[in-house]
Amino acid sequence: MTFSQETQKEKKEGYFLSQVHQPFFTLGVVNAIIMMFIFALSHKGVLHLHLDEELFHVYSLIFIVFTNIFTGFLFTTYPRYCGEEPVEKPYYLKVFYINLTGNLLFTIGLFTSFYLVLFSMLIIALGHYKIMMKLKELFDKSEAANLEDPFWILRAFKFGLYGNVMMIISTLFHPLEHFSVTYSFYMFLIFLTFSVGQRMIPFFSHSMEEKDERFVSAVFVLFFIKTLLVTFHTYEYVKIAEIILDVLLGIYLLGEFLAWKMLDKNAHAIIWVLHLGLFWLPVAFLVDALALSAELLFDSDFLYLGMHLLAIGFLTTILIGFGTRVTYGHSGQPPQANGFVKSLFILVQFVVLGRFLYSLNIGLGWEKNFLFDISFSTWILLFVLWSIKFLPLLIRGKK
């Protein structure tokens, strides 16, 4: 059967749900717009939410936006890592409907009832559990010779489930909130992105260099230490230790990435943006060290500058690159970016810049609060423009 015939058959069966990445990418991207818009209005005092604003912001981005996007990507690629059959359609549809139900109830509960929010978070955690169990099933069945990368990806998703549960508990037991947020961010979101990126980006770049076999495990340990230090960095000596760790992490990651010799000025735009996202990881840690040092010296607060550089510069840049590549490839088009898509890649960096300037505004007392409006507006614009270009491909396929 030709690709054209397969596509026509899929459309008759309901094209939107025919490939595993389609519903999850769509749900994640639409939520990226909705959740940021709600957060912005809440932060500006326009909306009152039945959930702590900071917890809402972190939980919605980690478990409603990024987890859905990652699920679409991993349900597509993880079976290949393990040499197993693709995730069966009934299973991924069940997970999608669980996630969709949880996401809708979460949004409604924000404006109506804290207990509905809590119930929706339990449903979202159930979806996360189902995702993790499918990855575990594929891993356990696999007879592939090298399962190191699938092992760490699976472990990261387990960490995410633990973080999800802890954040639910923290809505009732507030002293747990800071640790649950930090743990979910570093040990799930950033470590998962790192685990996937360090495998796929050298592969896409045709890098033939041998990696240090201890690299991922070493980063795992350093990330865990970072999580503990962030949790307790209200103490000055802990913050000093965190600064030292940030510098070590930044130098270690940068040295390893350069050793892969994958940079090529002639690479097409999707590979270029993936390289850019990967190198944001060490840069974010080094900038975080500077920001923490400035906080100590000037007794100021740069409002999670390092975390936002990781979340936008590293994570969002990579996911926009991966999402674009997968969407193109699975709609029967070559994964190459035209002028509009290249502009989207550049726009991601303006989102990073906007959030960077807003942190400087807070830390240095500029009182230029319009920078917050620029920051959230560029984020929403990025995902709106990406949606205009790629949601038709996800929903209807190639014309």
Q: Mind listing the pLDDT tens digit for each residue in 257-267? A: 999 988 877 78
- Tokens at 327, concatenated: 């969407």
- If you count DSSP H runs as helices and E runs as strands, how many of each does the chain have, helices first? 16, 0
* Confidence band of 212 (pLDDT split at 50, 70, 90): confident
Q: What is the DSSP string of 177-210?
A: HHHHHHHIIIIIIIHHHHHHHHHHHHHHTT--PP
Look at the pTM and tell me if it is higher than 0.75.
yes
**Residues near 332 by beta carbon (within 8 Å), at least 6 away in sequence:** 3, 7, 397, 398
CATH of domain 14-396: 1.20.210.10
Burial zone of 100 (CB within 10 Å; 0-12 exposed, 13-18 middle, 19+ buried) = middle
- Domain ranges (residues) in the chain: 14-396
Residue 2 has what pLDDT?
Answer: 45
pLDDT of residue 3: 43
Convert the pLDDT of each residue in 287-333 to its tens digit: 999 999 999 998 899 999 999 999 999 999 999 999 999 988 887 77
DSSP states of 296-311 as a string? HHHT---SSHHHHIII
CA distance to 25, 169, 232, 299, per residue, from 178 (Å): 29, 12, 9, 21
Q: How high is the pLDDT of residue 399?
A: 56
Query: In angstroms, how far is CA 117 from the centroid of its own chain?
Result: 22
Say how many C-beta atoms besides its own lie within 10 A of residue 173's C-beta: 11
Average pLDDT score, the chain = 92
| pLDDT value of residue 8 | 52
**Dihedral angle sign, alpha carbons of residues 20, 25, 30, 31:** positive
Angle of helix 269-298 relative to helix 236-259, nearest 10 degrees, comes to: 160
Residues in Cβ contact with 323 at an 8 Å cutoff, skipping those fewer than 6 apart? 25, 29, 69, 72, 73, 386, 390
Does residue 282 contact residue 254 with C-beta atoms inside 8 Å? yes
Q: How confident is the model at residue 397 (pLDDT cuts 50, 70, 90)?
A: confident
Render pLDDT for 1-59 as a digit per residue (tens, 0 to 9).
Answer: 444 444 454 444 578 888 999 999 999 999 999 999 999 999 999 999 999 999 999 99
Please tell me the distance from the alpha carbon of residue 116 to that of residue 3, in angstroms, as a whole number.
Answer: 45
Query: End-to-end alpha-carbon separation of the chain, Å?
Result: 19
